[in-house]
């Protein structure tokens, strides 16, 4: 079922550092880190070990089926992050 | 004397930038870092305590779940209620320690630059935020909430925080750690409408997705969005925008289709609108605004350009939320253009030359951007530079040992406090809060903070 990072995420990337299968992005040295609103978990790679849950300083990470009502859509958002086309030029 | 593998480091400012700098120093294996963490307030954690909105308790967990453990390290000394630049000069710290890291944040903000900005009733959102969060430097301020409409200039996360606090049911805020006097003022507030002005269009909103989506869940508040340009004439088509922007525009579209409920309060998101002038006799009464259109510059960036269409908004409270800005620090070079202490990759530079042993991290290094965790990478990079300089022999020896520093500081300011002082404040606030079902009740003036620091609660 995979774990999901929800709205409280503050982009403290302790989860990226501890993940044994590197399924959390962006990491601090990725190009989109600076502008990222949060980190995301790739549900197709996540092995459900829950290591990230413990290290998250704001408890933003939930097992998908335990997501609070208001953050149900974050399951889809985490998945979508990894489905984006290669980031094109960012316009702001 | 200090052996070659011990580094004594002063970190100035105990906000997230400083806390992450300390964390990285402690993780270092090659050198044994001993850190003195200076904080001008009696309380640590900077904007996590005085910036993060009271209705975002989840984000504040970082205090208990991370920062608290960092303070607890036997190699860290919290030196609170002591101001570098007042009680001790930069040159002295540079002499006393191997290295000094400034993580003093951005203590000022960008002004609108329009006539009438000095009228009473016009404030920085930064000040309003510090006020409702009980920051002792701002707790004496008064905001006139007797008018029916407030205008917030800007539409970033700070603007949305302010709009929520001004409109959400006070009963919700009564469960939070918002300052007691702010709670009282909000109970008596006459404000029915908060208008947020974004100078560019719907695709360029500065808010983040979670903050925007919160508006959909705000009880008893209608959200009004000028939807003419959604996604319409905006030059950028939906498919062309990046993923996070598409998500925001979809949320805006969803919000704009929502029927109004006649709720007692409302938030109006206006786009392509800029302030021109504030009008009023002594006090703000109206804001003249102009409608903008977007022009793509040669650099590809869309900029707002004013049209001829001007209109008036009646308002008695204007809060500008168009960005923070760093202050110059006495004794250190300042880049006035960027509002940061002049630095290269975190090494403070004077012209082209690095100032040995002096570093910056956080907003005063890179400008006021990013979220709490952005400061972790920022601190990592600064600490890497510091350690490389240590390895390369560029740091001069620390002139004083830990005890000598403390006795020197105690002579300058007998009211300085250590970790136990902060723990006493923390316990006292939490105990007071527990009686009312709130996370804490903040002490909001320096006198009370220092009194409770000296006396364990319980």
Residues B80 and B116 in one domain: no
- The residue range of the domain holding A26 is 3-83
Q: Give the residue from B47, B25, B46 showing the smallest Cα distance to B35.
A: B25
Instruction: For residue A92, tell me if it sits in a domain.
Output: no
Q: Say if CB B124 and CB B143 are below 8 A apart.
A: no
Q: What is the ipTM of this complex?
A: 0.93
Residue pair B251/B291 in contact by the 8 Å Cβ criterion: no
B369 close contact with A: CB closer than 8 A: yes
**Count of domains for chain B:** 2
Interval B178-213: pLDDT, tens: 999 999 999 999 999 999 999 999 889 999 999 999
* Same domain for B117 and B57: no
B397 Cβ under 8 Å from any chain A Cβ: no
Q: Is residue A14 part of a domain?
A: yes
Task: Give me the pLDDT at residue B228, please.
Answer: 66
Q: State the Cα–Cα distance between residues B78 and B95, nearest whole angstrom.
A: 20
Q: What DSSP character marks residue A85?
A: P
CATH no. for residue B64?
3.40.50.720
Structural domain tally of chain A? 1
Q: Which domain holds residue B297?
A: 111-322
Residue B239: beta bridge partners? none
- Cβ <8 Å between A57 and B65: yes
Distance CA B59, CA B82 (A): 27
B139 and B233 inside one domain: yes
pLDDT, one tens digit per residue, over B58-93 is 999 999 999 999 999 999 999 999 999 999 999 999
Residue A92 — pLDDT band, cuts 50, 70, 90?
very low
C-alpha span between B229 and B252 (Å, rounded): 11
| Residue B17 C-alpha, separation from nearest chain A C-alpha, in angstroms | 12
A89 within a domain of the structure (yes/no):
no
- Residue B300 sits at the chain A interface (C-beta within 8 Å): yes
Instruction: Return the residue of B nearest to A27 by Cα.
Output: B377
Note whether B350 and B92 are within 8 A (CB): no
CATH code for the domain of A33: 3.30.70.20
Q: What are phi and psi of B19, to 5 degrees?
A: -60, -45
Cβ within 8 Å, pair B302-A91: yes
Beta bridge partner(s), residue B6: B32
The answer to the question of residue A50 being in a domain is: yes
Task: State the alpha helices, DSSP H only, in A1-92.
Answer: 14-18, 51-55, 74-83
For residues B142 and B224, state if they share a domain: yes
Residues B235 and B175 in one domain: yes
* B371 interaction partners in chain A (CB closer than 8 Å): 10-11, 37-38
CA angle B158, B180, B428 (to 5 degrees): 105
Count CA atoms closer than 13 A to B206's CA, side-chain side: 22
Does position A1 have pLDDT exceeding 90, yes or no? no
Establish if A88 belongs to a structural domain: no
Looking at beta carbons, which residues of chain A come within 8 Å of B51? Answer: none
Q: How many Å lie between the alpha carbon of B283 and the closest alpha carbon of chain A?
A: 36
In a domain, A69, yes or no: yes
Average pLDDT, chain B: 95
Flag whether B207 is in a domain.
yes
Would B93 be classed as within a structural domain? yes
Whichever domain contains B167, its CATH number is 3.50.50.60
Closest residue in chain A to residue B204, using alpha carbons only? A92
Taking residues B364-388, what's their average pLDDT? Answer: 97
What residues 60-89 of chain A have any CB closer than 8 A to a CB of chain B? 60, 70, 77, 80-81, 84, 87-89
Report the distance separating Cα B332 and Cα B348, nearest Å.
Answer: 8
Q: Output the six-digit token pair for B230.
A: 């959604």
**Per-residue model confidence as pLDDT tens digits over B345-356:** 999 999 999 999
Contact B58 A12 (CB under 8 A): no
At residue B239, the pLDDT reads 60
Note whether B296 contacts A: Cβ–Cβ < 8 A: no
Residue A91 resides in a domain = no
Residues of A in contact with B204 (CB under 8 A): 92
Q: Is B382 inside any structural domain?
A: yes
Is B48 in the same domain as B173?
no
Measuring CA to CA, how many Å separate B255 from each of B208, B225, B250, B258, B264?
A: 15, 7, 9, 5, 17
Asked whether residue B432 is domain-assigned, the answer is no
Chain segment B234-275, per-residue pLDDT in tens:
445 566 788 999 999 999 999 999 999 999 999 999 999 999
Say whether B386 sits in a helix, a strand or coil: helix
Structure tokens at B369: 């951007």
Residues B230 and B331 in one domain: no
Residue B192 lies in a domain: yes
User: Which residues 209-248 in chain B show a CB within 8 A of chain A?
Assistant: 209-210, 213, 217, 236, 240-244, 247
Domain annotation covers residue B377:
yes
B387 and B252 in a common domain: no
Res. B456: pLDDT tops 80 = no
Query: Which of A15, A78, A92 to probe the B interface (max B CBs under 10 A)?
Result: A92
Q: Is the distance from CB of B100 to CB of B10 less than 8 angstroms?
A: yes
Q: Do B58 and A60 touch (CB under 8 A)?
A: yes
Decide which of B275, B297, B322 is a domain's last residue: B322
Same domain? B116 vs B142: yes
- How many other CB atoms are there within 10 angstroms of residue B412's CB atom? 13
Report how far residue B210's alpha carbon sits from residue B112's, in angstroms, rounded to the nearest whole number: 27
**pLDDT per residue over B114-152, tens digit each?**
999 999 999 999 999 999 999 999 999 999 999 999 999
Q: Are residues B140 and B213 in the same domain?
A: yes
Using the 3D structure, point to which of B266, B288, B322 is the last residue of a domain: B322
**A-B contacts (CB, under 8 Å):** 74
Same-domain check for residues B138 and B121: yes
Average pLDDT (A38-52) is 97
- Of all residues in chain B, what percent carry a pLDDT higher than 90? 92
Six-digit token pair at B135? Answer: 């920051």
In a mutational test of the A interface, the residue from B377, B378, B381 whose CB has the highest number of chain A CBs within 10 Å is: B377
Residue B393 phi, psi dihedral angles, 5° rounding: 75, 25
Q: Which of B58, B302, B370 sits opposite A58 (nearest CB)?
A: B58
User: Do B239 and B350 belong to one domain?
Assistant: no
- State the pLDDT confidence band at A89, using cuts at 50, 70 and 90: very low
Domain membership flag for residue B83:
yes
**Domain-located, residue B438:** no
* Predicted pLDDT of residue B229: 59
Q: What is the pLDDT of residues B427-453, one digit of tens each?
A: 999 999 999 999 999 999 999 999 999
SS3 of residue B178 by DSSP: coil
Q: Give the residue from B289, B322, B355 where a domain finishes.
A: B322
- Please compute the mean of the pLDDT values over residues B19-47 and round it to a whole number: 97
Predicted confidence (pLDDT) per residue in A50-85, tens digit: 999 999 999 999 999 999 999 999 999 999 999 985
């Amino acid at each position: 079922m995979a774990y999901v990072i929800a709205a409280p995420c503050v982009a403290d990337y302790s989860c990226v550092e501890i993940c044994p299968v590197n399924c959390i992005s962006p990491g601090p040295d990725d190009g989109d880190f600076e502008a990222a609103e949060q980190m995301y978990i790739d549900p197709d790679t996540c092995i459900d070990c829950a290591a990230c849950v413990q290290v998250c300083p704001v408890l933003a990470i939930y097992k998908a089926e335990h997501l609070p009502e208001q953050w149900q859509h974050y399951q889809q958002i985490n998945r979508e992050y990894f489905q984006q086309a290669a980031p094109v030029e960012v316009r702001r | 004397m200090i052996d070659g593998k011990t580094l004594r480091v002063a970190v100035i400012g105990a906000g997230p930038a400083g806390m992450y700098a300390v964390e990285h120093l402690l993780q270092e294996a090659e050198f044994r870092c001993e850190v003195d963490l200076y904080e001008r307030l009696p309380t640590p954690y900077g904007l996590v305590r005085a910036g993060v909105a009271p209705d975002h308790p989840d984000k504040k967990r970082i205090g208990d779940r991370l920062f608290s453990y960092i303070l607890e390290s036997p190699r860290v000394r919290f030196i609170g209620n002591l101001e570098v630049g007042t009680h001790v000069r930069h040159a002295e710290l540079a002499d006393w320690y191997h290295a000094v890291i400034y993580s003093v944040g951005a203590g000022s903000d960008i002004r609108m630059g329009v006539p009438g900005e000095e009228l009473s009733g016009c404030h920085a959102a930064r000040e309003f935020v510090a006020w409702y969060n009980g920051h002792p430097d701002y707790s004496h301020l008064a905001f006139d909430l007797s008018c029916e409409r407030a205008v917030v200039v800007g539409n970033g996360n700070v603007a949305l925080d302010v709009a929520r606090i001004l409109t959400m049911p006070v009963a919700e805020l009564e469960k939070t750690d918002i300052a007691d006097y702010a709670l009282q003022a909000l109970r008596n507030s006459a404000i029915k409408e908060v208008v947020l002005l974004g100078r560019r269009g719907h695709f360029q909103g500065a808010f983040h997705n979670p903050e925007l989506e919160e508006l959909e869940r705000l009880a008893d508040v209608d959200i009004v969005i000028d939807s003419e340009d959604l996604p319409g004439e905006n030059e950028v088509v939906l498919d062309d925008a990046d993923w996070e922007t598409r998500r925001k525009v979809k949320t805006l579209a969803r919000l704009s289709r929502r029927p109004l409920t006649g709720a007692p309060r409302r938030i109006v998101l206006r786009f392509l609108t800029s302030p021109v002038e504030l009008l009023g006799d002594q006090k703000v009464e109206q804001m003249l605004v102009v409608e903008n259109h977007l022009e793509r510059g040669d650099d590809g960036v869309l900029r707002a350009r004013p049209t001829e269409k001007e209109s008036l908004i009646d308002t008695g409270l204007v809060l500008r939320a168009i960005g923070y800005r760093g202050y110059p620090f006495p004794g250190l070079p300042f880049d006035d253009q960027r509002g940061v202490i002049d630095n290269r990759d975190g090494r403070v530079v004077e012209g082209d030359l690095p100032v040995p042993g002096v570093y910056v991290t956080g907003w005063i290094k890179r400008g006021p951007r990013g979220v709490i965790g952005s400061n972790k990478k920022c601190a990592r990079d600064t600490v890497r530079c510091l350690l490389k300089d240590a390895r390369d022999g560029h740091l001069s020896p620390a002139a004083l040992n830990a005890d000598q520093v403390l006795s020197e500081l105690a002579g300058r300011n007998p009211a300085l406090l250590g970790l136990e002082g902060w723990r006493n404040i923390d316990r006292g606030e939490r105990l007071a809060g527990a009686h009312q079902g709130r996370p804490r009740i903040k002490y909001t003036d320096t006198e009370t903070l220092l009194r409770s620091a000296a006396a364990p609660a319980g």
